[in-house]
């Protein structure tokens, strides 16, 4: 697997410009804003001139722009950059919230796969029949429904009406922590009572977050399946006298190659697509942290969050590439 190591290094190098670029974009946004963030950080209109000067010095705001930028990036890597709002290191804040977001994305991903894959395959198998038409429309409805609309419908149904979920607070993780993601730790330590608590809190936000992605996956799976079905190799299998069930096994395997790589990208998308869901369902995750940092012009935090998002994006792409190479014998590193 020496090839794999080389491939990873080569790919990782192409990520560097992307990561630098993303932080640079945030920096430019922060740099050009007319409002004075320092006053906000120092405590609003009543802030004393001395406090403002101190903060300016602390964040190198009295220095030229490149010095400010280097200060921010260096601070990120050494985790010495403090969030001016709570005086905690930015990455410590992010770490605490990432656990919530990751768990939310896991739940969403579960529903995406559970809904998207089978319905997409059924839709393709019943191509151009009534079932297919209905499922295609359902997928489009999923994609067309904004989170901020469906979330309230679900809250009304499952919380107000049937009381099948909780919306306040976050259940603490199990006492014994391995991965620090509560739901995974529950499974690993067989702590079922905490597992149920986590599920009760997270299933609805996860379902809400996942529904659009499930629609996307349904369509992608259907098209991928039909594309594989229309290949010459499928006709040749028929000419070989292969029975239907076995024919579909071939088609499915071929169709799943692109689907699995898309799944990796979708998980990345779910991780970075949480701001509205977390706001509506009152979950203290990364998305809400990003929103807050924008509202309070808290740019050290924003630059940290976007850096994390960029890492998620490049990692998802990398995982997709690796999966592709693992399942498709034609692709080698």
Partner 1 sequence: MPEPIIEIKNLSVYFYTYAGVVKAIENVSFDIYRGETLALVGETGCGKSVTSRAITKLIESPGRIVSGQVIYHRDDGSTVDLLKLSEEEIRKIRGNEIAYIFQDPHSSLDPLYTVGYQIGEAMEVHGKVKNIKEGIAKAVDILREVLIPDPERRVKNYPHELSGGMKQRVVIGIGIANNPRLLIADEPTTALDVTVQAQILELLNELKRKYNATVLLITHNLGVVAETAQRVVVMYAGKIAEIGTVDQIFHNPLHPYTAALLRAVPNPLGKIEKLESIPGTVPNLITPPKGCRFHPRCPLAEEICRRKEPELKEVEPGHFVACHRY
Partner 2 sequence: MAEEKVGEYEPREEYEMSILDRLSDRLIDGLASFITLFKKDWKRRNQSRIKEWKLMAYALNRSPPALLGLVIVIIYIFVGIFGPYLAPWPYDFFPVNYNYSTQLAPPGSTYFLNVTELQNGYIVHYMTYIHYPLGSDTYGRDVLSILLEGARTALVLDIFIILIGPTIGIILGLISGYYGGKVDEVIMRVTDMFLAFPGLILAIALSAVLPGRIQNFLNAHVWAQTLVLKLFALHPRDVNNLGKLLSVFVALVIVWWPGYARVTRGSTLTEKENLYVEAARAIGLPTRTILFRHILPNIIGPILVMITMDFGGIILTEAGLSFLGLGAVPPIPDWGNLINQGSQQFPQAWWLVAFPGIVIVTVVLGWNLLGDGLRDILDPRTRRSLEFKLKKKGKGGESNA
- 141 vs 196, which CB is nearer to partner 2? 141
- In the complex, least distance from residue 126 CB atom to partner 1, rounded to whole angstroms: 13
Helices (H), the chain: 2-32, 37-42, 49-58, 65-78, 90-125, 130-144, 147-154, 182-189, 192-229, 232-240, 244-272, 275-281, 286-295, 299-327
Rounded to a whole number of angstroms, the minimum distance from the CB of residue 72 to partner 2 is 15
How many angstroms separate the Cα of 294 from the Cα of each of 73, 116, 176, 278? 18, 33, 35, 15
CB nearer to partner 1: pick between 49 and 128: 128
Q: Which is closer to partner 2, CB of 151 or CB of 183?
A: 151
Contact residues for partner 2 (CB under 8 A)?
A: 17-19, 21-22, 24-26, 29-30, 32-35, 128, 133, 136-137, 140-141, 143-149, 152-153, 155-156, 160, 230, 272-273, 275-276, 279-280, 290-291, 294-295, 297, 302, 305-306, 309-310, 313-314
Torsion angle of C-alpha atoms 23, 49, 35, 89, degrees rounded to 10? 30
Q: Residue written as tokens 């010495």? A: 80
> Nearest 5°: phi and psi at 89?
-60, 140
122 or 143: CB nearest partner 2: 143
Min dist. Cβ of residue 3 to partner 1 (A):
16
Residue among 201 and 222 whose Cβ is closer to partner 1: 222
Residue 291 interface partner, choices partner 2, partner 1, none, CB cut-off 5-8 Å depending on type: partner 2
- SS3 for 296? coil
Q: Which residues of the shown chain bind partner 1 in the complex (CB under 8 A)? A: 128, 231-233, 235-244, 246, 250, 253-254, 257, 328-330
Q: What distance separates the 2 farthest-apart alpha carbons in the chain?
A: 85
Query: Taking CB within 5 to 8 Å according to partner kind, which of partner 2, partner 1, none is near residue 77?
Result: none
């Amino acid at each position: 697997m020496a090839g794999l190591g080389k491939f990873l290094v080569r790919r990782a190098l192409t990520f560097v410009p992307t990561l630098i670029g993303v932080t640079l974009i945030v920096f430019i946004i922060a740099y050009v804003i007319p409002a004075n963030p320092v006053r906000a950080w120092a405590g609003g209109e009543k802030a004393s001139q001395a406090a403002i000067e101190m903060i300016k010095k602390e964040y190198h705001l009295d220095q030229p722009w490149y010095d400010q930028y280097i200060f921010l990036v260096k601070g990120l890597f050494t985790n010495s950059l403090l969030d001016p709002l709570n005086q905690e290191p930015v990455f410590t804040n992010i770490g605490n919230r990432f656990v919530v977001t990751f768990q939310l994305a896991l739940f969403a991903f579960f529903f995406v796969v559970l809904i998207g894959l089978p319905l997409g395959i059924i839709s393709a198998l019943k191509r151009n029949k009534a079932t297919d038409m209905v499922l295609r429309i359902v997928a489009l409805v999923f994609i067309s429904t904004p989170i901020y609309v469906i979330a309230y419908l679900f809250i009304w149904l499952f919380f107000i009406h049937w009381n099948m979920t909780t919306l306040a607070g976050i259940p603490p993780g199990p006492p014994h922590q391995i991965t620090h993601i509560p739901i995974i730790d529950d499974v690993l330590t067989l702590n079922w009572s905490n597992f149920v608590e986590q599920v009760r809190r997270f299933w609805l936000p996860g379902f809400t977050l996942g529904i659009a992605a499930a629609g996307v996956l349904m369509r992608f799976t259907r098209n991928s399946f039909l594309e594989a079905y229309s290949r010459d190799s499928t006709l040749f299998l028929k000419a070989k006298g292969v029975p239907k069930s076995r024919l579909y096994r071939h088609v499915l395997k071929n169709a799943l190659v692109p689907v699995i790589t898309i799944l990796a990208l979708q998980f990345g998308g779910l991780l970075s697509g949480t701001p509205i869901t977390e706001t509506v369902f009152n979950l203290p995750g990364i998305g809400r942290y990003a929103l807050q940092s924008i509202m309070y012009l808290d740019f050290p935090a924003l630059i940290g969050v976007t850096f994390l998002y960029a890492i998620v994006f490049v990692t998802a792409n990398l995982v997709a590439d690796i999966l592709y190479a693992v399942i498709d014998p034609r692709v080698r590193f």
